[in-house]
Amino acid sequence: MKWLEVKKADSFDFKCDKIASDKSISHRCAIFSLLSDRPSVVRNYLRAEDTLCTLEIVRRLGAAIEDRDGILKITPPEELSEPDDILDCGNSGTAMRLFCGFLSSIPGHFVLTGDKYLRRRPMRRVTEPLTHIGAHIDGREEGNLAPLCIRGERLRSFNYESQIASAQVKSAMILAALRAEDVSTYSEPELSRDHTERMLRGMGANIESWDTITIEPMIRPLEPLDITVPADPSSGFFFAVAAAIVPGSRVIIENVTLNPTRTEAYRVLQKMGARVDFEEKENRYEPIGDITVTYDGKLQAVEVSDRISWLIDELPALSIAMAVAEGESVVKNAAELRVKESDRISCVIDGLKACGIECSETEDGYRITGGEISPAQIDSCGDHRIAMSFAIAGLLGDMKIKDVECIDTSFPNFAQLLASLTEVKSWR
């Protein structure tokens, strides 16, 4: 069991171009490269456990992967091979759900599994609509829990109205639609992150997005990707919160995706009173640039109840900002937090209570009354975002966090970067 101890920090001015590469985009780079018949070139691919699992699955499906000076060349096989063993998605819901959509139409037998946390997460949200269009997928609890067995089949086109705003479900269905018999449509209650649509369109797929997404089946292989993965705004957000809560501080997060479906949490931080500046520098597949967050006085409480899918991954870190803001903050409509890598509603609330903060759970969110964070010992619940959120809380009051191996799933150099701001100790 690995521990992390974070000591109280003084003010800092931190310019960082080493925030982990975007996890969502990296998974997609690996999987989408299989939709072309030529090599894709991917710079800055995230080398973290989750995305390395995805890359390994792509290799097991027959792709040749060369890594030269950190640049990946992914050459798809002429025909995907049927792997002779199970495919391990590690801790990653994105990998499992996107591979479900992708493999449902590939001839062969595939078994997807993952770690003990992933094997508890609901997969029916993808297996049900895929089964409905002809996929053969089975798993524990009638197809809801991994390991999942897939036998590739010819898929029918569909008009699917999803009841949840989920980029993973949307991406699985778009991948299925690319190989379906005819044109398909997909709609969701509110727009979820749209990397899949942007990247596939960049590769030449016929995907139109208005209120509904229309997907034409691929009639030929797509263009390969030639992409530099930007920094991950969800990983950068831990440092954004750090700057917003430690008086006199500033952080500049460089070369991060400024896709609006990913930067909503920064806008909430702005609403709470931090100074947040966005500077767009380029636009290829996605807008990319720098985000500067500057401490600008005590934060004020906020209510967060809409565009939840645009900030769902940042809510644990945002809860640390809420814990020191003036007044009562409320998070609503976020029941989805309960089925992430951990039950993030109860893990956040248990952790904040241990820090002496007045707070309570509701079914779909929580209430947090701002106060002073006291030194505490926190259980990460095996969840990377819980571990990193409470590490940031440690900047205000010393914090010991237990079970921090999970940080490697998304942000392996997190502790190293945090050590530029304060004293950090780690032991087993």
Cβ-based nearer residue to ligand S3P, 24 or 40? 24
Question: Is 211 annotated as catalytic?
Answer: no
Q: How far apart are CA 428 and CA 408, in angstroms?
A: 15
Task: Quote the least distance from Cβ 327 to ligand S3P, whole Å.
Answer: 27
Contact between 29 and ligand S3P by CB under 6 A: the answer reads: no
Q: Which tokens go with 404? A: 């921090």
Site membership for ligand S3P, residue 192 (CB under 6 A) = yes
* Binding test (CB under 6 A) with ligand S3P, winner from 21, 51, 166, 342: 166
Give the nearest distance from C-beta 237 to ligand S3P in angstroms: 12
91 vs 422, which CB is nearer to ligand S3P? 91
Based on the shown chain and the rule CB under 6 A, indicate whether residue 348 belongs to the binding site for ligand S3P.
Answer: no
- Which of 126, 167, 177, 424 is in the footprint of ligand S3P by CB under 6 A? 167
Report angle CA 373, 374, 377 to the nearest 5 degrees.
110
Q: Is 309 in the site for ligand S3P (CB under 6 A)?
A: yes
Cα–Cα distance, 83 to 106 (Å, whole number): 12
> Binders of ligand S3P among 85-144, rule CB under 6 A?
94
- Which is the catalytic residue, given 22, 88, 115, 313? 313
Cis, peptide link before residue 122, omega less than 30° from 0: no
Q: Provide the Cα torsion 128, 313, 258, 210; round to 10°.
A: 30
In the list 24, 33, 249, 342, the residue contacting ligand S3P (rule: CB under 6 A) is 24
**Angle at CA of residue 423, ends 250 and 352, nearest 5°:** 75
For residue 36, the 8-state DSSP code is B
Amino acid at 243: A
Using an 8 Å Cβ cutoff, are 134 and 155 in contact? yes
277, 229, 233, 401: CA torsion to nearest 10: -140
- Interaction of residue 410 with ligand S3P, rule CB under 6 A: no
Residue holding tokens 């920090």? 9
Residues contacting ligand S3P: total by CB under 6 A: 12
Locate 49 and state its tokens. Answer: 């456990």
Least distance (Å) between residue 298 CB and ligand S3P: 30
Q: How far apart are the first and last CA of the chain?
A: 5
Q: Which residues pair with 75 in a beta bridge?
A: 64
User: Residue from 49, 88, 290, 313 that binds ligand S3P (CB under 6 A)?
Assistant: 313
In angstroms, give the least distance from the CB of 117 to ligand S3P: 13
Q: Which residues bind ligand S3P (CB under 6 A)?
A: 24, 94, 166-168, 171, 192-193, 309, 312-313, 336
Known catalytic residues are 313
